[in-house]
Structure 1
Amino acid sequence: MESKTSTYLRARFREYYLTASMDAPPGMEAREWGFIFYDTPGMRRHRSFRSRKELVDYIRSTVPAHVYHSAAYYLKPDAPTMKEKIWKGADLIFDLDADHLAEYRGSGIRDFREMLERVKGETMKLLEFLLSDFGFDERMISVAFSGGRGYHIHVRDKSVLKLRSDARREIVDYLTGRGLDPERFIHKIGVDGDAGVERARSLRGPASDAPGWGGRINKAIESMVMHLRELDDEEALRLLKNVKGIGKQKARLFLSQIREENAIKSIRAGNLDFFKHASGIWNLIIPYIMEETVRALGGETDEPVTADVHRLIRFPESLHGGTGLRVTSLSINSLHAFDPLKDAVVFGDDPVHVEIIRPTTLELMGERFDLLEGKTELPEYAAVFLLARGFAEVG
């Protein structure tokens, strides 16, 4: 038997679904669909629909709390086992969630806005990798606010359709900077000179216009050098000595050379051999810079989601049963201005009587609610959110 809270939420969800547009994803008839309901444990899956109308009619008649579809395409999407479904390919998907960020694991709704802004930043960072490093056409990428604590990215390019799990993990490794080898980015090359090519060797790193991680590392080297040049000697030496293996003598030598007039120009060209004894010092500094660069610029995503070629993911324009917020489709250009705590809210402000069972602070639709245990009256959009999150019950 449903609780009063579940009955109320189902009624509000039904009201939304009666008018929601709910555009179907490409190839919807080849996808598996799954549903979670307020009154039934577990997921009802292995469903398929031949048309958008059939899907929408099902959602409107059953009013699920959560709606999912597979990233994969199958010959028989409604078959009861994966083997019987016959896999034909899958979109490349990325799940960016606050739970993947160490500082927000287990945090409540007090930090919701800050949390979502941080995840949006990670989403935009990952999109830059997909567009610039992988060269995907922007038209082949779609973004969606998950309705919860993050964002989903779908890549529907033909080049990724048949990729198996291992290949998808390699993509995640690249995006996150996992396993980057400093020797790929700093090396010696033979140069012509009086000593002959074999004996005269020059130290090289990536140039500023190098693609991918190389260009990012070059900019990080330049940024570090520019920062050191702006500091006084004492502070710059202290910073350099933080790099493992660099003592006071090496730090002084490095500092004196990077302050030369042509140092920045040389770095931008990928020439790291502009002062004596460069190799030994750069071999210590580059791994340090790479570690900091990966930490700052590497993407954050849930590897198991991307690697799972049978994964179900939330259906855009459905409602998230744990928040009442809409899973919202976005263009890459609209992502920056998107405010999930306003733009994903679909319910009105009619007053609703609820009982707060867990004290909390909530911000929605530009309003802040500081709530203590006990009965209170809230606008519908705030009531739905707190009821769905388990912070309140119908009064």
Structure 2
Amino acid sequence: MSAILGSLLKRYYFERLADIRAPARAPEREFGYFRPGSGMVRHISVRDDAGLRLLLSQNAPPDVYCSNAYYAFPELPMREKEWRGADLIFDVDAKDLALPCRAEHAVRVCECSRVHARAECPHCGSQKSQARSLPCKKCIKAAWDEVEKLLKILEEDLGITGAIAYFSGNEGFHVHVEDPGTYKLGSKERLEIADYVSFRGAIPELVGLPRNAEKKKPAKPAEPDNPGWPGRYARHALASKAARSRAKKEAESGGYQLAQARLAEAAPVIGARIDPGVTTDVHRIFRLAGTVNGKSGLSKIPWEGEGDPYEAAALLGGDPREVVAECPVRFALGGSRFGPFEHGRVRVPAYAAAYMICKGLASDPA
């Protein structure tokens, strides 16, 4: 690990240790962390704040994780843990939203360690490289819009209140639901919830457009003031009398497949675009709130939507650090803008140095 990054992590976990708390029911959760040079260390049991702080102060790891699951024996191998339940967690990530701006701030780190924005490295000719993205405000705003949709659906349709949103420290958000009513849900039930909040798999009958409507009963398209998904879809696609009339005629003339296609088209607009694989995993480990994200050097922090998370989560210090940077795109962080940097030495605030190091765009000076 970079000596600069290592020193910043040690300082962070010294200065901010008292602010980091163990999650609810900590003794029943599995903890883990990434140890540079040897990989993941898992199956750790932490009893309380003091135990967690000891782990952080001794290791100052670049990544710290905690399970959403509760176990009888969290320190044992997976098959021996005895699962007791799990928090319901949703993940929204800008990289999954197919945003047009992404190409503007995407770079590639070649196996020769040089950075470029092409398919082929201009320095060594290799096509073997790893993609890196330096998300912009448009990215994080789009991701937050999905979180707001999700929170509204959870509360209005499922009666789930008190969900907490966190900026993940990189490109998106985690939404944690700690509700006893959801603890025992299995992967199948969680997939149903994921599909529901995403409006995935919706059928025309839901919005009053049944198959063979003329043979059974007349189609009655949903109205904008209907509750739940019928109302949301109506406000999106059936807001006018003309639109509802057209939908009714289509349903009564065999246009069921067309109605299905229109529902599918509406899903990413009115549904919350989440990663269903995250929600359905009842044994997953998640980044621990208050700790640093090793992919960016930013912290995972609670977020309510006001301000800029790329400023609020830049907590590794503003004192200047010198690094060898190669970053062909500009990026905003900590309320300032940086780059582009050609291959050479630059002095930037500690949080920006850590960010570029974590992204593979900078290294310690020789």
TM-score between the two structures when normalised by the length of structure 2: 0.83
Does residue 167 (structure 1) correspond to residue 167 (structure 2)? The answer is no
Q: Is the 8 A contact 1:34 1:47 kept in 2?
A: yes
**Over residues 244-292 of structure 1, what are the superposed CA-to-partner deviations in whole Å (9 max), with x where a residue is unaligned?**
xxxxxxxxxxxxxx3xxxxx9xx5xxxx599988832875764454233
Alignment of 1:55-70 (within 5 A): 55-70=52-67
Is 1:210 the counterpart of 2:206? The answer is no
Match of 1:147, as an amino acid? G
SS in 2 for 1:120: helix
Cα 1:342–1:202 change in 2 (3 A) is same
Check whether the contact 1:109–1:360 (CA below 8 A) recurs between aligned residues. Answer: no
Q: Shift of residue 357 of structure 1?
A: 3.5
Partner of residue 116, structure 1: 140
What value does the CA root-mean-square deviation take over the aligned residues?
2.7
CA 1:283 to 1:383, structure 2 compared with 1: closer, same or farther past 3 Å? same
Q: What displacement does 1:307 show?
A: 0.8
Letter in 1 for 2:157: D
Question: C-alpha deviations, 1:110-138, integer Å up to 9, x for none?
Answer: 4433222211111111111111111112x
Structure with higher Rg: it is: 1
Matched, 1:360 2:329: yes
Name the residue aligned to 2:298: 325
Give 1:305 shift. 1.2
Contact 2:221 2:247 in 1 (8 A): no
Give CA deviations for 1:44-90 in whole Å, capped at 9, x if unaligned.
0000111111111110111111000000000001012x221000000
Query: Does structure 2 conserve the Cα–Cα contact (< 8 Å) formed by 1:109 and 1:361?
Result: no
SS in 2 for 1:203: coil
Name the residue aligned to 2:316: 347
Give the conservation status (yes or no) of the 8 Å contact 2:218–2:252: no
The one-letter code sitting in structure 1 at the alignment partner of 2:59 is T
1:13-54 deviations in whole A, cap 9, x for unaligned?
11111132102211111100010023x332100001111111
Counterpart CA distance in 2 for 1:291 and 1:35 is 40
CA distance in 2: counterparts of 1:275 and 1:388, whole angstroms: 55
Aligned length: 332
Aligned twin of 1:128: 152
1:13/1:286 CA distance change after superposition, 3 Å: same
Query: What is aligned with 2:29?
Result: 31
Q: Note the C-alpha offset of 1:205.
A: 2.2
Listed as ranges, the gaps of 5+ residues in structure 2 are 107-131
Q: Which whole-Å CA distance do the structure 2 matches of 1:276 and 1:115 have between them?
A: 40
Distance change >3 Å, CA 179–CA 375, structure 1 → 2: same
1:295-310 to 2 correspondence within 5 Å? 295-310=268-283
Would the aligned equivalents of 2:92 and 2:173 in 1 still touch at CA under 8 Å? yes
Identity %: 32
SS of residue in 2 equivalent to 1:342: helix
**Displacement of 1:350 after TM fit?**
1.8
Cα distance, 1:392 vs. partner?
A: 0.4
Q: Which ranges in structure 1 are unaligned for 5 or more consecutive residues? A: 189-197, 227-257, 259-263
CA contact under 8 A between 2:201 and 2:264: conserved in structure 1? no
CA distance in 2, matches of 1:217, 1:352: 52
Aligned partner letter, 1:23? R
Higher helix content, 1 or 2? 1
Judging changes above 3 Å, is the alpha-carbon distance between structure 1 residues 37 and 275 closer, same or farther for their aligned structure 2 residues? closer
Range that drifts further, 101-110 or 163-172? 101-110
